[in-house]
Structure 1
Amino acid sequence: MVIINFIISKVFVLSKNDTNDFPLAIFLTGTIPALYICKGNYGLFFKKLRLKDIKLIILCVIGVYIYVVLIRLILSPVGMTAHAGLDSSVSLLTIVNLLLQVLGEEFFKVFILLIAMYLVYKITGNRNMSIFIGLIASMIIFGLAHYDAYDGKILQILLVQGFGSIFEYYAYLKTKNILVSYLIHLIQDLIPVVMILLHIIPV
């Protein structure tokens, strides 16, 4: 496992100098440890989608956009936006990159959540407290992982990327299925990309 983490860290650092490789690095950072842990038992992370899972995905995506509107009302008066900025150079490759990067991000989020929950539970013996503190800690860590994308604006980082990921976390905790949280995350990221490709929104 130490060797795997070493390889991942090298790939991640090298890719920071090439934005084309960055989505692949995120994908590898999240999925390699997952493949190592499950040892072929993919049911630990993925399950078949059920009808109620699809309903949950739709509701959570709607919830995300309602949240974005509310956060925009908070951030606009202080000169901040509810997104990191749209890239006018989007292409089909952008979509491929998203497919990989989002999966890696979801694995990363789940690992941080489970580790935080485990540590808190070992200390307190309280399951509800471990979930609550684990969620707060993992959302903050995930938000801070986007530090560069938001030019270090902590309030924007935490409200948009950090606490804004609550819908994916909720979906995972409810279903224990990363595929559900992955699709919620992917859909919300794909919508603006597709709208740019179709020239529905300007950049």
Structure 2
Amino acid sequence: MQRFLFERKNDKRDYPLLDTKLEQWRLWALLIFISVATVLWMEMTAALDFKAYWLEIICDDLIPITLMITVVMYLSKGKLGGLFGKPRFSDFIFGIVMVLIQFWYAQFSVTQLGKLGISFGKNASSTQIENAASKSTQYFQDLFSDIFELMGEELLSLVVFLAIAALLIQYYGLGRRLGLSIALLASMFLFGMIHFQAYNWNLAQMLIVIAGERFFLTAIFLRSKTIWPSYVCHMLFDAFAFAVSLY
């Protein structure tokens, strides 16, 4: 088997979808559903104004992610259950290294693009924290919402990555490395684009900074073959980024 980027040598664990064949229509259905569901979730988040925080958590976070996981599991005939496999401790060590590089990449890319005269906006959540009457309360509320929202982002990115790779390799005759490379780029692009609300359609920020950051999170998944290390590291990245807004 051709190793791809950060995969371990002689790793016995399988990739969900990629190492077990699923019908082509199911792969396409997964791609369409996860993309549409994510956009609808984001639009609902922006459109609805819940008066009570607990009601927002239930209706705007808990119910959508539960439905998303349920439908994804159904369409994949349970194959995507492998995403939630048990990680190794070393997977989290590798994840921390990737997150540190991700921080460096984010700062470096913003600095270099700024020298070219490209302006950047603040993340919508960071702005919300800065303008809140109680910054600390808003910070921890945003972090709690992230428990659900970032799982949605990880599901979107990894399901798209795996489904596209499976289609290209299993049904369209591409080699493993080429298929995985195209799938990785596609998932990075989509990850950048779903941040259109957070960055007010700043395409340079979405497609260079945010999409580039996705590379490091997916690298963690490539190493671990489970969603947990990339999810936890995604949480850590956002927690630190939002903490800057407290000060």
* Residue type of the alignment partner of 1:16: A
Match of 2:65 in 1: 27
Deviates more, 1:121-130 or 1:15-24: 15-24
Distance in 2 of aligned mates of 1:107 and 1:10: 13
Structure with the bigger RCO (C-alpha within 8 Å, sep 6+) is: 2
Query: Where do residues 15-94 of structure 1 align in structure 2 (5 Å cutoff)?
Result: 15-18=45-48, 20=56, 22-24=60-62, 27-28=65-66, 30-37=68-75, 44-77=82-115, 78-81=117-120, 83-84=122-123, 86-87=126-127, 88=130, 89=132, 90-94=138-142
* Residue type of the alignment partner of 1:179: W
In the superposition, relative to structure 1, how do residues 150 and 175 fare at CA in structure 2: closer, same or farther (>3 Å)? same
Superposition deviation, residue 81 in structure 1: 3.0
Deviates more, 1:74-83 or 1:183-192: 74-83
Query: Where do residues 99-114 of structure 1 align in structure 2 (5 Å cutoff)?
Result: 99-114=147-162
In the superposition, relative to structure 1, how do residues 93 and 84 fare at CA in structure 2: closer, same or farther (>3 Å)? closer
Match of 2:168 in 1: 120
Distance in 1 of aligned mates of 2:39 and 2:80: 26
In the superposition, relative to structure 1, how do residues 135 and 30 fare at CA in structure 2: closer, same or farther (>3 Å)? farther
Gapped runs of 5+ residues in structure 2?
1-25, 50-55, 133-137
Deviations 1:1-50 (A, max 9, x none): 98xx5x95896354431265655576346423344357678851123332
Match of 1:166 in 2: 215
Gapped runs of 5+ residues in structure 1?
none
Find the residue that maps to 1:124 and give its secondary structure. coil
Superposition deviation, residue 76 in structure 1: 1.6
Deviations 1:67-102 (A, max 9, x none): 112112222222423853522232322111011100
- The counterpart of 1:177, out of the listed 212, 226, 230, is 226
Native 8 Å contact 1:24 1:100 kept in 2: yes
Query: Where do residues 183-202 of structure 1 align in structure 2 (5 Å cutoff)?
Result: 183-196=232-245, 199=246, 201=247
- The counterpart of 1:142, out of the listed 147, 168, 191, is 191
* Residue type of the alignment partner of 2:46: K
Higher radius of gyration, 1 or 2? 2
In the superposition, relative to structure 1, how do residues 8 and 152 fare at CA in structure 2: closer, same or farther (>3 Å)? closer
Between the two proteins, the alignment pairs up a number of residues equal to 196
Distance in 2 of aligned mates of 1:112 and 1:120: 12
Deviates more, 1:187-196 or 1:112-121: 187-196
What is the TM-score normalised by the length of structure 1?
A: 0.81
Superposition deviation, residue 61 in structure 1: 1.2
